[in-house]
Chains A and B, each alone.
Chain A
Amino acid sequence: MLEKLLRPVSSFAAAVVVCGMLAGTAHAETPLREVIDAEVAKVWKEKGINPSAPAPDAEFLRRVYLDLLGTTPSYQETAAFLDDAAPDKRAKLIDKLLDDPRFAEHQTREWDMVLFGRNPPGYDSGSREGFIRFLREQFAKNAPYDQIVKTILLAEGDTSNQGAPMFLMQYQRNPEDAAVAVTKIFMGVQLECARCHDHPFEDYTQVDFYGMAAFFARLQRVEAGTNGKEKMLALGEKSTGDVLFTGPAIDATPGKKGEPIAPKFLKGEPLAEPELPQDFKEPPNIPGGKMPEKPQFSRKDAFAEWVARPDNPWFAREAANRIFGQFLGKGVVHPVDNLSDVNPPSHPALLDALEKEFVAHRFDIKWYVRELLNSKTYQLSSAGSATEAFPLYYERAKYRPLSAEELAASWRVATGYDEALAKSGKKPENADDFAPLTRGYMLSFFGKPGDGEGNFQGGMHEHLYLNNGELARLFANSGDGTLLHYLSKSEDPIEKKVERLFLQMLSRPPSEEEAKFFVAYLSETEPSGQRQQNAIWTLMTCSEFRFNH
Chain B
Amino acid sequence: MNPHCPRNEHISRRALMKGALATAAGATVMNWGGLTSTPAFAAEVAKKQKHCIMLWMNGGASQFETFDMKVGRPTGGIFREIDTDLPGYKVCELMPEIAKRIHKLAVIRSMRTSQIDHPGGIYLMHAGYAEAANVRFPEIGAIVAKYAGDPNSDLPNFVKISAPSYTGAGFLGPKYQPFGLDQNGRLPTFSVSGMNPADEQRRHELRSFIEESYARDHQAEPTRMHQQAYEQARRLQNVRSVFDVESEWQKYKEKYGDSAIGRKCLTARCLVEAGIAFVEAGHDNYDTHADNFTGHKARVPVMEKAWAALLDDLEERGLLQDTLVIWTGEIGRTPSINNRSGRDHYVRSWSTALAGAGVKGGLVYGESDRDGHDVKDNPVTEGDFFATIYKALGIDPTIENYAGIRPIPLAPFGSKVVEDLLA
Contacts and interface: CB of A to CB of B under 8 A. Distances in A.
Partners in one complex: yes
Interface of A: 192-193, 196-197, 200, 249-256, 342-343, 382-389, 396, 399, 401, 441, 444, 451-452, 455-469, 511, 513-514, 517-518, 521, 530-531, 534-535, 537-539, 541-544, 546-547, 549
A456 B222 contact: yes
B206 interface: yes
A542 B210 contact: yes
Interface in B209-241: 209-211, 213-215, 217-230, 232-234, 236
Interface string B191-202: 111110001001
Contacts of B177: 457-459
Contact of B220 (A253, A388, A461, A466): A388
B207 interface: yes
Nearest to A543: B223
A463 B168 CA distance: 18
Contacts of A544: 210, 214, 218, 223
Given A401-B222, A459-B229, A465 B336 contact: no
Contacts of B189: 441, 444, 464-465, 469
Interface stretch (B338-346, B352-360, B408-416): B338-346
B117 interface: yes
Contacts of A255: 339
B338 A252 contact: yes
Given A444-B189, A544-B214, A544-B218, 4 more contacts: A459-B179, A460-B233, A461-B179, A539-B210
Interface of B: 116-117, 133, 136, 156, 166-168, 174, 177-180, 187-195, 199, 202-203, 206-207, 209-211, 213-215, 217-230, 232-234, 236, 289, 334, 336-339, 344-346
A253 B207 CA distance: 62
A464 B191 contact: yes
20 contacts: A196-B117, A196-B345, A200-B116, A249-B338, A252-B336, A254-B338, A255-B339, A382-B218, A386-B219, A396-B220, A451-B167, A458-B224, A459-B177, A464-B233, A534-B202, A538-B207, A543-B211, A543-B215, A543-B222, A543-B226
A465 B178 CA distance: 17
The listed residue with most A CB atoms (<10 A of its CB), out of B116, B187, B191, B206, is: B206
B139 to A, nearest CB: 12
Contacts of A514: 209-210, 213
A401 B222 CA distance: 8
A531 B202 contact: yes
Nearest to A441: B189
A469 B206 CA distance: 19
A388 B215 CA distance: 14
A396 B223 CA distance: 14
A146 to B, nearest CB: 29
A458 to B, nearest CB: 3
Nearest to B223: A543
A197 to B, nearest CB: 7
Nearest to A248: B344
Contacts of B166: 451-452
Given A458-B229, A521-B206, A250 B336 contact: yes
Contacts of B232: 460, 463
Contacts of B206: 517-518, 521, 534-535, 538
A22 to B, nearest CB: 29
Given A386-B219, A456-B226, A539-B210, A253 B234 contact: no
B194 A468 contact: yes
Nearest to B232: A460
A295 to B, nearest CB: 29
B220 A549 contact: yes
A537 B205 CA distance: 12
Contacts of A463: 229-230, 232-234
Nearest to B373: A250
Nearest to B175: A458
B405 to A, nearest CB: 13
Nearest to A255: B339
Nearest to B338: A252
A460 B229 contact: yes
B226 A458 contact: yes
A65 B212 CA distance: 26
A197 B348 CA distance: 14
Nearest to A526: B199
* Pairs A-B, 6 closest by C-beta atoms: A458-B225, A252-B338, A463-B233, A543-B223, A460-B233, A254-B339
Nearest to A246: B339
Contacts of B230: 460, 463, 466-467, 541
Contacts of B224: 387, 458
A200 B116 CA distance: 9
B345 A547 contact: no
Contacts of A249: 289, 334, 338, 344-345
Contact of A387 (B194, B203, B219, B334): B219
B338 A253 contact: yes
The listed residue with most A CB atoms (<10 A of its CB), out of B133, B177, B179, B215, is: B133
Given A517-B209, A543-B211, A544-B214, A251 B336 contact: yes
A543 B214 contact: yes
A455 B236 CA distance: 25
A71 B192 CA distance: 30
A65 B32 CA distance: 39
Given A382-B220, A542-B207, A542-B211, A464 B188 contact: yes
The listed residue with most A CB atoms (<10 A of its CB), out of B178, B194, B199, is: B199
A465 B190 contact: yes
A253 B339 contact: yes
Nearest to A387: B221
Contacts of A517: 206, 209
Contacts of B136: 455
B248 to A, nearest CB: 23
Nearest to A535: B206
A197 B191 CA distance: 45
Given A253-B337, A460-B179, A513 B190 contact: no
